Amino acid sequence: MSQSVTEQPSVIYLKDYQTPAFLVESTALRFELEEEQALVRSQVQYTRNPDSADRLRPLILDGHESLELHRLSIDGEVLNEQDYRRQGEQLIISELPDSFVLECVTRIEPQNNTALEGLYKSDGMFCTQCEAEGFRRITFYQDRPDVMAVFETTVVADKQSYPVLLSNGNNVDSGEEDDGRHWVRWQDPFPKPAYLFALVAGNLEFIEDQYTTASGRDVVLRIFAEAKDLDKLDHAMLSLKRSMQWDEQVYGREYDLDIFMVVAVDFFNMGAMENKGLNIFNTSCVLAHPETTVDTGFQRVEGVVGHEYFHNWSGNRVTCRDWFQLSLKEGFTVFRDAEFSADMNSRTVKRIEDVTLLRTAQFAEDSGPMAHAVRPASFIEISNFYTLTVYEKGAEIVRMLHTLLGEHKFRQGSDLYFKRHDGQAVTTDDFVQAMADVSGRDMTRFKLWYSQAGTPRVAVSGEYDAASQRYTLHMRQSCSPTPEMETKQPFLIPVAMGLLDQHGRDITLASGNTTEVLELVSTEQSFVFENIPVEPVPSLLRGFSAPVKLSFPYDQEQLVFLMQHDSDGFNRWDAAQQLAVSILQKLITDYQQGSPLVLDNALIDAYRLVMSDVSLDKAMVAKVLSLPSEAYLSELSDEIDVDAIYQVRKFVRQTLAKALESEFLSLYQSNCSGDSYSPDAASVARRSLKNLALSYLMATERTEYLALARDQFAQADNMTDSQAALSLVAHSVHEQAADELLEQFYQRWQNESLVVNQWLAIQAANTREAGLQRVEKLLTHPAYDASNPNKIRSLVAVFCAQNLPNFHNLDGSGYRFLADQIIVLNKQNPQIASRLLTPLTRWKQYSEARQSLMKAELERIGNSGDLSKDVYEVLSKSLAQ
């Protein structure tokens, strides 16, 4: 469905939810796959829903306008055109019996499906993506998550071209036909909504393993990919087995089918999809090999495999009633995968990474035109709500419940939730109710986290009275207005905290603990601590216990003190961040006023301290020594001054590099190792520190370090070291060397699509002048494919999000380029088009000159013709600011 910017789009409201008029007992599907079409026959057993008050309600089926309807019959009787109505995306049938079988034959063209939703082709293989509303591109159905059915699926295709035919559940039968075609039948005994349906047909190979569940059931594990990628599946298999075991140990959840399959596909709109028993993955989230994959890639595979696997319970066995409840499964599952990754690697580092993402991207979303509650009240296109707010902030809500209840009660709550709702489609209220029931707590105020958008601010001050040995923390919370919500009620904010004495030791608090969780529930509140012998330094929001912007008037000395002594690893890192942010922000003001830039020695001294602190783990050191990103500095600015942020950050990096050159060199040397590659946490940490040191050495612009980087590039036996060196040289002042290495790298890896994506991304991020021309040239390079989302993300999205000086060029060329891309993608792949809009939606935060350039491009997109619902929604909300 497409609309012009002036047409009224239909907005869907949570308050309008109605139970479905009919329930589905069973769904049988038959797919005849051919090169020019697919014929889909569905036979669905419907019964009128006893919970639906109106017994005369018609059956309303969803069906995309691209569906060609060939036949519709009820209990074997063919319907004529006057027996039903096709209206927009719906097919409506009235006057139905209470129970009947509806048979429907549709014709679709997967080979022309460029939106990559429903049934489409990726590199010659058929695959599906049905969440959220892709099933309606396959057949007419009640395509909503609260309609759950058992599925039987028969797939028929040419045997030579498509030897592997997969669907959900267990393989129950198969056979051959005379004409070279074959078929396989799958049955999934667990009732599921249509969004969890999956089908794959292709020329695939697989690796196989097995897992015995805690109760002794054997499960076959298969991971499928094209033959050339078969050597890149071991890490995913290991991650899968670890996930299965972790979910048994931590949540008491076992796998429930006899087989669990994962398929890697190259054309995919997002990371992966948790279809029951048949997960489909973007190759970027499943393939891993030391020679072609960087350390963060290995960790991403582990995290995403875990995430999709954990959905089997948090998402599939217990699913969402409607799409407003998306965070029910996504927030909970992100929390689960984060804890899994924390248990497999460094807990503190994982937390630092997640909070960094939240503070940069989610906080920006929460203060922009698309700001929405974790459980939104309305949407135009649900695909636009697979956001950092629903996922990451949603996970923070679950983490807060965990903090408030404690490990043991939280587990009881989760057990109750799964037991009470197994096989049901439920709401975030149901989830919180299970936690309320096991803890006896009233969660009314807590639930505001689901319904109120915006990032709360918490301003804290401390007051010490030596005579009475009393320390008081005064807190004040507020939350800025967001679209459609002017005023907010106070949130329940759990503030985990401790107090440090003059030696940096934790003071034991009245509870007998050194960390306490304060519950801030009103606008203003004070917390009193008795028997505090000296004026303490408070350590606040330990482990980032709530998704808020907390401020305390620390001076530099106190921040350095916390950096050295805080028993909470996250807060040690955060103190360093706060120190760096305050110094950078002051320099940004100096730059804007034309004052000379001079770096405060406090930062240099703090860095030196960290480098010599042997108690810290290497990954932590690397995190502490990384300056806050341009994106984070932008998020913290009232008006984003692109040039100042870019120049100041570069100046600070260079000054640190020169001041600490010998320290960085010895850090580099002491972390080089002759050991063969392993993606374990300690080795990853060592490489991250080594490559961070190399990045500072390269920032000095001295030629001897170019030689060092070139050596590393030439000798590396793994992609992490090779790519780190390439990216540093490519972004350096040594242009000739940059070109040489980029060429060598391409020659070597041109047949590895995922490596080529990295090669594109490195060039897209290059801030040297004429960045746009380089990107435009790459658009026509054989390495690029404008229909593959991974390529678009690597080149276009990276340029627009990470190449500040070039994208924000004051001649407007960067903005124009992005708008041109969106206008094309709006027709081809609306989901990707709408995602790409993000940098332009922030137009209000820039200088007037940039504002008008960005706004003009948004308007040009609006006037470019039929807009998809996806683009329409983001565009109209952006322009309405």
Active site residues: 308
CA atoms 546, 549, 555, 557: torsion sign = positive
Pairing mode, strands 85-87 and 90-93: antiparallel
Which CB sits closer to Zn ion, 38 or 326?
326
116 near ligand B3K (CB under 6 A) = no
Which CB sits closer to ligand B3K, 381 or 752?
381
Which CB sits closer to ligand B3K, 223 or 540?
223
Stretch that binds ligand B3K, among 176-184, 265-273, 295-303, 797-805 (CB under 6 A): 265-273
**Contacted by 339, from Zn ion, ligand B3K, none: CB < 5 to 8 Å by type:** none
CB of 747 closer than 8 Å to CB of 785: no
In whole angstroms, how close is the CB of 562 to ligand B3K at the nearest point?
Answer: 36
Q: Is 104 helix (H, G, I), strand (E, B) or coil?
A: strand
- Please give, one letter per residue, the 3-state secondary structure of 414-464: HHHHHHHHCCCEECHHHHHHHHHHHHCCCCCCCCHHHHCCCCCEEEEEEEE
Which CB sits closer to ligand B3K, 255 or 799?
255
Ranges assigned E (strand) in 34-123: 38-48, 59-62, 68-74, 77-78, 85-87, 90-93, 99-108, 118-122
CA atoms 693, 698, 702, 707: torsion sign = positive
Amino acid sitting at position 62 = D
**Contacted by 521, from Zn ion, ligand B3K, none: CB < 5 to 8 Å by type:** none
In whole angstroms, how close is the CB of 376 to ligand B3K at the nearest point?
Answer: 15
Which CB sits closer to Zn ion, 268 or 632?
268
Stretch that binds Zn ion, among 333-341, 426-434, 638-646, 856-864 (CB under 5 A): 333-341
Q: Is 661 helix (H, G, I), strand (E, B) or coil?
A: helix
In whole angstroms, how close is the CB of 117 to ligand B3K at the nearest point?
Answer: 8
Number of Cβ atoms within 10 Å of the Cβ of 90 = 14
In whole angstroms, how close is the CB of 829 to ligand B3K at the nearest point?
Answer: 12
Pairing mode, strands 278-282 and 272-273: antiparallel
Of 308, 574, 635, 870, the residue at the interface with ligand B3K (CB under 6 A) is: 308
CA atoms 212, 217, 218, 221: torsion sign = negative
Stretch that binds ligand B3K, among 65-73, 306-314, 402-410, 629-637 (CB under 6 A): 306-314
Which CB sits closer to ligand B3K, 103 or 131?
131
In whole angstroms, how close is the CB of 190 to ligand B3K at the nearest point?
Answer: 17
Which CB sits closer to ligand B3K, 328 or 493?
328
In whole angstroms, how close is the CB of 615 to ligand B3K at the nearest point?
Answer: 37
Of 24, 132, 492, 823, the residue at the interface with ligand B3K (CB under 6 A) is: 132
274 near ligand B3K (CB under 6 A) = yes
131 near ligand B3K (CB under 6 A) = yes
Which CB sits closer to ligand B3K, 264 or 755?
264
Binding-site string for ligand B3K from residue 326 to residue 345, where x marks contact by CB under 6 A and - marks none: ----x---------------
**Contacted by 835, from Zn ion, ligand B3K, none: CB < 5 to 8 Å by type:** none
239 membership: H or E segment, kind and range: helix 234-251
Q: Is 706 helix (H, G, I), strand (E, B) or coil?
A: helix
CB of 762 closer than 8 Å to CB of 727: yes
Number of Cβ atoms within 10 Å of the Cβ of 81 = 9
In whole angstroms, how close is the CB of 311 to Zn ion at the nearest point?
Answer: 6
Short-list 639, 574, 625, 615, CA closest to 845: 639
**Contacted by 106, from ligand B3K, Zn ion, none: CB < 5 to 8 Å by type:** none
User: Which are the contacts of 688, defined by CB distance < 8 A and separation ≥ 6?
Assistant: 295, 618, 619, 622
Block residue for tokens 């990726």: 122
**Contacted by 383, from ligand B3K, Zn ion, none: CB < 5 to 8 Å by type:** ligand B3K
Block residue for tokens 């709408």: 834
Block residue for tokens 């004040």: 476
Please enumerate, as own/partner, the contacts of 462-471 that have beta carbons within 8 Å and a separation of 24 or more.
Answer: 462/536, 462/538, 462/552, 464/532, 464/535, 464/536, 466/535, 468/530, 469/530, 469/531, 469/532, 469/533, 470/528, 470/529, 470/530, 470/532, 471/499, 471/528, 471/529, 471/532, 471/535, 471/536
Stretch that binds Zn ion, among 35-43, 152-160, 325-333, 442-450 (CB under 5 A): 325-333
In whole angstroms, how close is the CB of 597 to ligand B3K at the nearest point?
Answer: 43
Tokens read off for 816? 């124009």
Amino acid sitting at position 540 = L
**Contacted by 146, from Zn ion, ligand B3K, none: CB < 5 to 8 Å by type:** none
CB of 503 closer than 8 Å to CB of 510: no
In whole angstroms, how close is the CB of 849 to ligand B3K at the nearest point?
Answer: 36
Of 386, 570, 705, 749, the residue at the interface with ligand B3K (CB under 6 A) is: 386
Please tell me the distance from the alpha carbon of residue 548 to that of residue 400, in angstroms, as a whole number. 12
Number of Cβ atoms within 10 Å of the Cβ of 241 = 17
Please tell me the distance from the alpha carbon of residue 327 to that of residue 406, in angstroms, as a whole number. 21
**Contacted by 132, from ligand B3K, Zn ion, none: CB < 5 to 8 Å by type:** ligand B3K
Which CB sits closer to ligand B3K, 62 or 330?
330
In whole angstroms, how close is the CB of 114 to ligand B3K at the nearest point?
Answer: 15
Stretch that binds Zn ion, among 187-195, 329-337, 460-468, 828-836 (CB under 5 A): 329-337
275 near ligand B3K (CB under 6 A) = no
Which CB sits closer to ligand B3K, 135 or 668?
135
> Burial, 601: exposed, middle or buried (Cβ in 10 Å; 0-12, 13-18, 19+)?
exposed
Q: Tell me which residues in 53-112 interact with Zn ion (CB under 5 A).
A: none
Which CB sits closer to ligand B3K, 182 or 307?
307
DSSP code at position 507:
P
Please tell me the distance from the alpha carbon of residue 516 to that of residue 403, in angstroms, as a whole number. 10
In whole angstroms, how close is the CB of 124 to ligand B3K at the nearest point?
Answer: 23
307 near ligand B3K (CB under 6 A) = yes
Size of the site for ligand B3K (CB under 6 A): 12
Of 69, 214, 238, 270, the residue at the interface with ligand B3K (CB under 6 A) is: 270
**Contacted by 243, from Zn ion, ligand B3K, none: CB < 5 to 8 Å by type:** none
Cis preceding linkage at 132, omega within 30: yes
869 near ligand B3K (CB under 6 A) = no
Tokens read off for 510? 């009245």
Short-list 178, 200, 168, CA closest to 33: 200
Of 60, 148, 273, 588, the residue at the interface with ligand B3K (CB under 6 A) is: 273
Block residue for tokens 């590396």: 716
In whole angstroms, how close is the CB of 311 to ligand B3K at the nearest point?
Answer: 6
User: Residue of minimal CB distance from ligand B3K?
Assistant: 131
Please tell me the distance from the alpha carbon of residue 306 to that of residue 518, in angstroms, as a whole number. 32
Binding-site string for ligand B3K from residue 344 to residue 383, where x marks contact by CB under 6 A and - marks none: ---------------------------------------x
Amino acid sitting at position 446 = F
Which CB sits closer to ligand B3K, 387 or 695?
387
Stretch that binds ligand B3K, among 70-78, 304-312, 503-511, 693-701 (CB under 6 A): 304-312
Which CB sits closer to ligand B3K, 311 or 350?
311
In whole angstroms, how close is the CB of 308 to ligand B3K at the nearest point?
Answer: 5
**Contacted by 386, from ligand B3K, Zn ion, none: CB < 5 to 8 Å by type:** ligand B3K
Q: Binding residues for ligand B3K, per CB under 6 A?
A: 131-132, 270, 272-274, 307-308, 311, 330, 383, 386
Q: Binding residues for Zn ion, per CB under 5 A?
A: 330, 333
